[in-house]
Amino acid sequence: MVSGARREKAAAEIGLSARTFRRWMDDSGEVQYDRRPEAIRPKPATALSPEERQAIIRVCNEAPYASL
């Protein structure tokens, strides 16, 4: 769009409707961030490590909790 492309054509080029593109704009006219469901996003800083995940699964499978 910096080079003068129309919003509708730019949106269509990346697989968005013009309405979706307008919804994603903030008050200043800038695109907030990529809200497409299939967009690649960084792993959250609070994500569980594989070891933490396995520890949770192990506890959930213990006898007192297995029937919950």
Task: Sort residue 33 into left (φ over 0), alpha (ψ -120 to 50) or beta.
Answer: beta
Q: Which pLDDT score is estimated for 5?
A: 63
Query: pTM, whole model, 2 decimals?
Result: 0.44
Q: Which position has the higher pLDDT, 66 or 57?
A: 57
Q: Which pLDDT score is estimated for 41?
A: 87
Q: Cβ(60)–Cβ(54) under 8 Å?
A: no
**Six-digit token pair at 43?**
């792993």
Q: Where are the domains of the chain?
A: 7-66
Helix boundaries (H) for the chain: 7-13, 18-23, 50-60, 63-66
Rounded distance, CA 22 to CA 64, Å?
52
Q: Which pLDDT score is estimated for 2?
A: 53
- Taking only the tens place, the pLDDT of each residue in 14-63 is 888 888 878 878 777 777 777 778 888 899 999 999 999 999 999 999 99
Phi, psi of 65 (to 5 degrees): -110, -10
